[in-house]
Amino acid sequence: MKAVSTGVRKKDAMSLVTGKPVYTGDLVPANALRLKLLRSPHARANIISIDTSRAKMVPGVAAVLTWEDMPQSRFTTAGQTWPEPSPYDRLILDRHLRCAGDPVAIVAAETEEIARRAVRLIKVEYEVLEPLLDFTKALDNPIVVHPEENFRSLCPVGTDPKRNLVSTDSFTVGDVEGEFAKCDVVLERTYNTVANNQTMMEPFCTYTYLDEYGRLNVVSSTQVPFHVRRILSNALELPKSQIRVVKPRIGGGFGAKQSVVSEQFPAIVTKLTGRPAYLCYTRQESMANGSPRHQMQVKVRIGADRDGSIRCMDLYALSNAGAYGDHGPTTIGLVGHKSLALYGSLRASRFVCDVVYTNTMGAGAYRGYGATQGIFAVESAVNEMAAQLGMDPCAIREKNMVRQGQMMPAYYGEPCNSCTLDKCMERAKEMMGWDKGPTHWTLPNGHIRGRGVAMAMQGSGISGVDIGSVEVRLNDGGFYTMLVGCTDMGTGCDTILAQMAADCLDCSVDDIAVRGVDTDQSPYDTGSYASATTYVTGGAVVKTCGELREKIRLEGARLLGIAPEAAQFDGEKVFLPGTDKVMTRAEIGWASYEGHSKQLSASQSNSSPISPPPFMVGMAEVDIDPDTGAVRVVDYVGVVDCGTVINTNLARVQTEGGIVQGIGMALLENIQYNPQGRMLNDSLLQYRIPTRLEAGKIRVEFVPSYEPTGPFGAKSIGELVINTPSPAIAEAIRAATGHMFRTLPIRPEDVALAGLEE
C-alpha cells in the first residue's frame, strides 16, 4: 500500500485555508430572497390569529407565509433510511406550537434587513398553555405534547402520542435475576446527562431555486442529501423526481445536519413564489432551534463476584426527545447495545428504554448517538464497582472486557472479529504511567490530582441498513473521476476514499478526482452518519475499483490484439509479459473516447450484515482547586483500535477533536431553560465549549487490528472518540475527592460544595 495508512493532505485543504468560495453561503445568487422566521416566544401555545398585513406592506417583501399556506402532510426531519423509524409529527408551520422558537411565520424579502423589519410587524394572538418541561414526569402526563389526529408512525417502535411516548424497547440476554442472586456485590446507581449543542462553526443554511426545467434545486449544508430529497418530498407534497439536492463543503455537522433543520423553509418559499430563496440561521437560532443531543437518565444495576468478575448488568434509560421525535427511537438503542457489549464476561444483561415528548427543543443526532450517554453510565458504574471491591479500575476492565473471537449478545449477536482493546488498555497505562504512581495525590499548592479510566466502542455503519455506492470513470488522458454519495463534512472522507481508490488502482492519489454530492448525478449513499463512510462506502470503493481494473485490462487486451487471459494491468499500463506489446492507461483512456469504443466506468454498492465496532481506552488526569472546585484536564490519553488506519493525520485530528468535545460534555456544556421553557444560554458567550486552554495535553495513539470485512481491514473512528472523556473525567474527580458525580456537567460549585460537606 502506497496511499493507505499515510497522512495524505485533504483534497480540499488549500481551498479551505485560502478562503475560496466553497460553502453554501458563498454560492448564493445575488437575486435570492432572504428569509427570516418569526418564532414562538412560548413553549406551548395555540395560534388564535395572525395579522400579516403590515408586514406585507413593507417595500421589498415578496411573501409572508403562515400555517394556512402550508401543506398539511406530516413528516419527520430525521435523516434516516426508509422506512423512517422516527414518527411523522411535524408540519413546516403549525398552528399548535410545541417549544419556544417553533416557527410561526416565514418572511421572504429582498434583503435581510427588510425581512427582519417585516417580522417585527407581524401580530400574533396566542393561547398560551402550560408547558411540560420535566422529562421524568412526561410519561402519561395530563399535558399531551402531540394531540393531533393526523400523527403517524411508520415503524412499530411503540409510539403512543397520547402517553407522550415516542418509542419504547427492551432486550434481555440470559437469566438476569438469577445471575443477580448469585452476585456477591450489587450496585444500583442513576446517572444523568443533559442536552448538548453540536456548536459547529457553520450554522444551518440552505438556498433553493427552480432550474430551467422547473425542478426544485436545494443547495444545503447537510450530511444526508438523499434523505433531504425524500423529506422535502414528504413535507412539500412534491414528487422526488422534481427535487435535486446539492451539498457543497460543510463547515462541521457532528450529527446536527443529519436532520432537515433549515431546508424546508426556503424550499416552500421557492415552490410558492418561483424565486430563489436563502435562509441562514443565526448562531442564536442554531443553538436554540437546532437538533441537540438527547437529555437522558440511565439507571444501572451491576452485579459482580468478590474477585471482580462482572456477572450481569441491568439498564433502564429514559430519553427526552423534546417537542419532536426526530432520531428518538434510534438513539436510545445505542445506550444499551454499545455499552453492555464492552463486557464479554456478562452472563446476563437487560436493557429497557422509553423516549418521551416534552416542550423543550426537539433533539436529534450528535456524535456518539446515544452510545455516549450509555457509556458514561455503564463505565461510571464499573468504576464505582471497582472502588467498592477495592480494585484498580483498569484491572476490573482487563478481567471483564470483550476480546477478539467472542460473540457479543448485547450487540445484536454480532461476532467480535477484530479487537485490540486489551492492547489499547496496556498502551494507555504505559502512556499515563498508571502503574508507576497513585491514582490521586496532593500538590504543594494544595491542588488535588486524580486519574480515571474508561473504555468505549461504537459501530461501523448500521448493519443490514446502510448502503454506500461509488462510480469511478477512466477519463481521456488516464486520470479517474470518482463520484460518491457520502458527504465530507470536514472529516476528509473524500480524501480517504481517494486513498483507497489509488491503492486499488495502483495510481497516485492525485490521479483521482473526487466529486461531491449531487442527487441527480451521484450514486446513492445513505449519508455521513453512524460512522459509516470509511467502512461502508470504502467497501464500495474496493468493489468498484476491482471491477474497473478488470475492464481496463480487457479493453487494453482488445486494443493490443492479445488474448484477454494473457494480458496484465499494473496500474500504469496493460501489457503482454515478455513482449513489447504495451498500452498505457492514458492511451486506453483516449481510445475509450474514440469510435468503436466505450467509456470505461464501474459502479458498485456496498452494505454489510454486521457493524464491526472500533474500540478505545481513554485516561484522564485532572487538577482540582479545592477552594473553588475548578476542574482542569491536564493530560488525556486516548488509544484507539479502528482497524487499519487509512489516513494517519485525519484519524489523529478526529480523535483529538472528539476528546475535546467529550471534555466539554463532562465539565462545561449544559442547555438550560427558564421556567417558561426558553433556552437561557443560546450564545457562545453563555454556552461554554472547551477552548485550547481547557483541553490540556491530549496524546493519541493507535493499536490497529485487522477487520476482515472492512476495506483494507478498516473500521470506523468518527463517533467512538467522544465516548471516553466523561466517565474517565468523572472517575478522575472521584479518585481525587472521594465523591462520585453522577450528573453531567460536573460544575465547580458541585465539587466545592461536596468538599465543604466533608
Domain tally, the chain: 3
> Average pLDDT of the chain?
95
**Residues 407 and 514 grouped into a single domain:** no
Buried b (16+ CB within 10 A) or exposed e, 259-271: bbbbbbbbbbbbb
Domain boundaries, position 477: 468-606
Calpha distance 629→220 (Å, rounded): 43
Phi, psi for 91 (deg, rounded to 5):
-125, 160
Q: What is the number of other CB atoms lying within 10 angstroms of the CB of residue 609?
A: 8
**Residues 476 and 456 grouped into a single domain:** no
Helix or strand (DSSP H, E) at 381 = helix 371-389
Q: pLDDT by residue (tens digit) across 549-578?
A: 999 999 999 999 999 999 999 999 999 999
Q: Using CA of residue 565, residue 570, residue 571, residue 575, what is the dihedral sign?
A: negative
Contact 245, 229 (CB under 8 A): yes
In the 3-class helix/strand/coil scheme, how is 653-701 assigned residue by residue?
HHHHHHHHHHHHHHHCCCCCECCCCCECCCCCCCCCCCCHHHHCEEEEE
Strands (E) located in 576-630 = 582-584, 601-606, 615-624
127-141, 260-274, 474-488: which range is least confident on average?
474-488
Closest CA to 32 of 119, 87, 110: 110
Cis link prior to 745 (omega < 30° from 0)?
A: yes
Calpha distance 449→451 (Å, rounded): 7
Contact 673, 195 (CB under 8 A): no
* Mean pLDDT value across residues 671-683: 96
Residue-level pLDDT at 21: 82
In a domain, 434, yes or no: yes
Residue-level pLDDT at 756: 61
Contact 111, 371 (CB under 8 A): no
Helix or strand (DSSP H, E) at 589 = helix 585-591
**Residues 310 and 371 grouped into a single domain:** yes
Residue-level pLDDT at 736: 96
In a domain, 324, yes or no: yes
Contact 668, 605 (CB under 8 A): no
Q: Name beta bridge partners: 316.
A: 299, 352
* Mean pLDDT value across residues 496-524: 93
Contact 43, 99 (CB under 8 A): yes
In a domain, 528, yes or no: yes
In a domain, 376, yes or no: yes
Calpha distance 268→238 (Å, rounded): 10
In a domain, 45, yes or no: yes
Q: What angle do CA 632, 633, 638 make, to 5 degrees?
A: 170
**What's this model's pTM, rounded to 2 decimal places?**
0.96
Q: What angle do CA 18, 224, 234 make, to 5 degrees?
A: 135
**Residues 34 and 109 grouped into a single domain:** yes
Closest CA to 113 of 41, 36, 208: 36
**Residues 234 and 317 grouped into a single domain:** no
Buried b (16+ CB within 10 A) or exposed e, 406-434: eebbbbeebebbbbbbbbbbbbbbebbeb
pLDDT greater than 70 at residue 627: yes
Helices (H) and strands (E) in the chain, counts: 18, 29
Confidence of residue 464 (pLDDT cuts 50, 70, 90): confident
Q: Name beta bridge partners: 641.
A: 615
Residue-level pLDDT at 693: 84
Calpha distance 395→718 (Å, rounded): 28
Domain boundary among 606, 636, 651: 606
Q: What is the number of other CB atoms lying within 10 angstroms of the CB of residue 336?
A: 29
Closest CA to 695 of 665, 734, 739: 665
In a domain, 186, yes or no: no
Q: What is the CA radius of gyration of the chain?
A: 27
* Mean pLDDT value across residues 136-160: 96
Calpha distance 377→415 (Å, rounded): 24
**Distances from the Cα of 469 to the Cαs of 521, 532, 606, 627, in angstroms?**
12, 12, 6, 57
Calpha distance 634→621 (Å, rounded): 6
In a domain, 146, yes or no: no
Residue 57's CATH number:
3.90.1170.50
pLDDT greater than 90 at residue 7: no
Residue-level pLDDT at 758: 55
Residue 241 CA, chain-centre distance (Å), reads 28
Phi, psi for 684 (deg, rounded to 5):
-75, -10
**Residues 582 and 706 grouped into a single domain:** no
Contact 264, 149 (CB under 8 A): no
**Residues 80 and 52 grouped into a single domain:** yes
Contact 158, 85 (CB under 8 A): no
More confident residue, 491 or 720: 720
Largest distance between two CA atoms of the chain: 89
Cβ neighbours of residue 211 under 8 Å, at least 6 residues apart? 217, 244
Contact 531, 460 (CB under 8 A): yes
Cell (9 digits) for 38: 418569526
Q: pLDDT by residue (tens digit) across 186-240?
A: 999 999 999 999 999 999 999 999 999 999 999 999 999 999 999 999 999 999 9
Calpha distance 498→483 (Å, rounded): 10
Domain boundary among 590, 606, 622: 606
Helix axes 371-389, 328-340, angle to 10 degrees: 30
Residue-level pLDDT at 10: 84
**Residues 239 and 93 grouped into a single domain:** yes
Domain boundary among 581, 606, 631: 606
Confidence of residue 254 (pLDDT cuts 50, 70, 90): very high
Cβ neighbours of residue 126 under 8 Å, at least 6 residues apart? 40, 42, 45, 46, 47, 48, 97
* Mean pLDDT value across residues 519-542: 90
Calpha distance 522→79 (Å, rounded): 18
Calpha distance 640→723 (Å, rounded): 12
**Residues 618 and 584 grouped into a single domain:** no
Residue-level pLDDT at 598: 81
In a domain, 235, yes or no: yes
Residue 333's CATH number:
3.30.365.10
**Residues 561 and 658 grouped into a single domain:** no
More confident residue, 520 or 14: 520
Q: Name beta bridge partners: 699.
A: 637
Place of cell 471534555: 663
**Residues 261 and 113 grouped into a single domain:** yes
**Residues 213 and 260 grouped into a single domain:** yes
User: Can you list the alpha helix ranges (DSSP code H) found in 237-321?
Assistant: 264-273, 283-288
